[in-house]
């Protein structure tokens, strides 16, 4: 099967084919997602919460990310592998970001690195892209800033906040980002940003109009022991196997049956 690349997902946006994405942190689940047809596998720093049991993503290190990304990379033959740069591994300088992004690609097998932040990160994105590193942006609810945001709250409500996020999205695109995660923002704003951009948007709690959707694997399997966010749906219920649940998720994303209004914000 032909590997998914950043060019593939750009073409999917043009063709209006929805992009199905899930997180994974190990070899077996990565292989399962890959063979069921997930387009994009994210090794998120959410591993700090769902693999390590922390209350936030802040304790995750580059070494943790490299380890889990390399496990996932060995399970993948088709999907695009996007891996997070964790907290304080890229904010200090563009050179720091380049060194850690290089590790994520060379040792972690990542195809694309993801970093959080809007316009302020645009020069760093440009620095990475000019040196051959594909970048995924992440705006809206950025979990690495949970203490600054005052909790895991919806972002982009109100005209000023919506304008801020729209400016951030354009700045990341102009800096060369290949795709953009929109997390926990009103659906209408996510739809407007998606239509304004040439690069694909991947929503998580951002409504059905994004070009693709992502969920944390443990949320969509209903195995996270603490409360899951409103935007998460347990696809395991009514399914006989994990593989069936993943197939149901992919089908729901492709047919725009997920997320519904009950998983979205106004
Ligand atoms: O950390 C993560 O898993 C993520 C995705 C869910 C977008 O950032």
The domains located in the chain, with CATH, are: 6-263 (3.20.20.60)
183 counts as catalytic:
yes
Ligand 1 contact, 46 CB (< 6 A):
yes
Ligand 1 contact, 213 CB (< 6 A):
no
On the question of pLDDT at 154 being above 90, the answer is yes
Under the banding of pLDDT at 50, 70 and 90, the label for residue 231 is: very high
pLDDT of residue 226: 96
Q: Are 82 and 136 in contact (CB under 8 A)?
A: yes
Question: Looking at the chain, which runs of residues are DSSP E strands?
Answer: 19-23, 40-43, 80-84, 112-116, 135-140, 179-183, 201-204, 212-215
Q: What percent of the chain has pLDDT over 70?
A: 100
**Cis amide prior to 208 (ω within 30 degrees):** no
Pocket of ligand 1, candidates 48, 183, 220: which has the most ligand atoms within 8 Å of its Cβ, to mutate? 183
On the question of pLDDT at 124 being above 90, the answer is yes
On the question of pLDDT at 98 being above 90, the answer is yes
CB within 8 A of 207, min separation 6: which ones? 186, 187, 188, 190, 191, 259, 264, 265
pLDDT of residue 243: 98
Residue matched to tokens 């197939």: 247
How many Cα atoms sit within 13 Å of 110 on the Cβ side?
31
What's the pLDDT tens digit per position in 13-69?
Answer: 999 999 999 999 999 999 999 999 999 999 999 999 999 999 999 999 999 999 999
Q: How far is the CA of 114 from the centre of ligand 1 (A)?
A: 9
Rounded CA-CA distance 79/82 in Å is: 9
On the question of pLDDT at 153 being above 90, the answer is yes
Averaged pLDDT for residues 204-230: 97
Ligand 1 contact, 45 CB (< 6 A):
yes
Averaged pLDDT for residues 140-149: 98
Averaged pLDDT for residues 203-218: 98
On the question of pLDDT at 1 being above 90, the answer is no
On the question of pLDDT at 73 being above 90, the answer is yes
Averaged pLDDT for residues 232-255: 97
Nearest to 22 by CA among 46, 5, 6: 46
Averaged pLDDT for residues 86-91: 98
């Amino acid at each position: 099967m032909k590997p998914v690349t950043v060019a593939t997902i750009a073409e999917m946006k043009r063709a209006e084919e929805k992009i199905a994405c899930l997180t994974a942190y190990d070899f077996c689940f990565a292989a399962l997602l890959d063979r069921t047809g997930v387009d994009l596998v994210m090794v998120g720093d959410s591993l700090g919460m769902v693999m390590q049991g922390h209350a936030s993503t802040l304790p995750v290190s580059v070494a943790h990310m490299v380890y889990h990304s390399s496990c996932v990379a060995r399970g993948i033959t088709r999907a695009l592998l996007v891996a997070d740069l964790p907290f304080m591994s890229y904010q200090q300088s563009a050179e720091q970001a380049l060194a850690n992004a290089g590790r994520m690609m060379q040792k972690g097998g990542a195809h694309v690195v993801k970093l959080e932040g809007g316009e302020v990160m645009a020069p760093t994105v440009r620095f990475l892209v000019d040196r051959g590193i594909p970048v995924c942006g992440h705006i809206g609810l950025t979990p690495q800033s949970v203490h600054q945001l005052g909790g895991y709250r919806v972002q982009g409500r109100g005209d000023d906040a919506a304008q801020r996020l729209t400016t951030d999205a354009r700045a990341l695109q102009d800096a060369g980002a290949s795709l953009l995660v929109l997390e926990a923002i009103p659906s209408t704003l996510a739809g407007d940003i998606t239509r304004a951009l040439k690069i694909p948007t991947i929503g998580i709690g951002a409504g059905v109009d994004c070009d693709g959707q992502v969920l944390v694997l443990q949320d969509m399997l209903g195995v996270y022991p603490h409360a899951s966010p409103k935007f998460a749906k347990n696809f395991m219920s009514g399914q006989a196997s994990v593989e069936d649940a993943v197939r149901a998720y992919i089908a729901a994303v492709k047919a725009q049956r997920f997320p519904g209004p009950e998983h979205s914000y106004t």
